[in-house]
Structure 1
């Protein structure tokens, strides 16, 4: 089962898909036990306006790994049969090894609700990255 992870610097897990243009598509079945992580721009595989869960399923992606997720996004993935896992820190290699060993915890609705104050950065009215005014 392939996994998609929002990333930066090719070795760190980003704080969600809205925080980076790049993702790692991890295939644990490729090249033996270590698996293969392919880095691609997010919007080249899932263009704006496309049905995200449908495209993911077509690509064989059955799980998401992220450090943060909004409740609506979590529900969208889960309702469409895509598992969502919460990262343990931001080290990509470490988290992929946890995924292979099936030691990652599923993201819960309560954890996603805690992220409800996270700004998506789309309104351009913030004074800083730390606090949104809306």
Structure 2
């Protein structure tokens, strides 16, 4: 199974989670079968920036780990059959271990709406009235 995690960069901070995909130029992909990790530019996932879930499915990604998840994005991921897990911290390795040990909580709609209250993303893809956009 492949899981993708938005990270700060692919260099010095490659093991530090970004808040969400909207805040990340890079993502780490961990394959639980091969136990290999690769870093990619998030813009390479899909040409449709508003819906990367289809690109993730084409890449064989089955799960996402993120600190934040806008409600609309959560809906698109779930609709595409991609599980979304709430990160425990901003440490990539810690979250991978928690994922392997099945200790990460699935992102719920309630959690996504709670996170949207502090969203400062410029994505414009959600219709949250509490968004700072």
Same fold (TM over 0.5): yes
Which whole-Å CA distance do the structure 2 matches of 1:110 and 1:122 have between them?
Answer: 20
- What is aligned with 1:4? 4
Q: 1:97 and 1:91 mapped to 2: Cα distance? A: 10
Establish whether residue 120 from structure 1 lines up as the match of residue 116 from structure 2. no
Is it true that 1:26 corresponds to 2:26 in the alignment?
no
Unmatched 5+ stretches in structure 2: 125-130
Q: CA RMSD in A?
A: 1.9
Measure how far apart 1:23 and its partner are. Answer: 0.3
The normalised TM-score by structure 1 is: 0.83
Give per-residue Cα distances to partners, 1:35-63, cap 9 Å, x unaligned: 11101110023234585222211111011
Q: Which of the two has higher C-alpha Rg?
A: 1
Q: Greater CA deviation, 37-46 or 66-75?
A: 37-46
Cα 1:94/1:79, change in 2 over 3 Å: same
Q: TM-score, normalised by structure 2?
A: 0.83
Per-residue CA distance 1:97-118 (angstroms, 9 max, x = gap): 1111111110111110012231
d(CA) in 2 for partners of 1:55, 1:44: 9
1:67 CA displacement: 0.2
Q: Are the structure 2 counterparts of residues 44 and 7 from structure 1 closer, same or farther at C-alpha, using a change threshold of 3 Å?
A: same
Contact persistence 2:51–2:73 (CA under 8 A): no
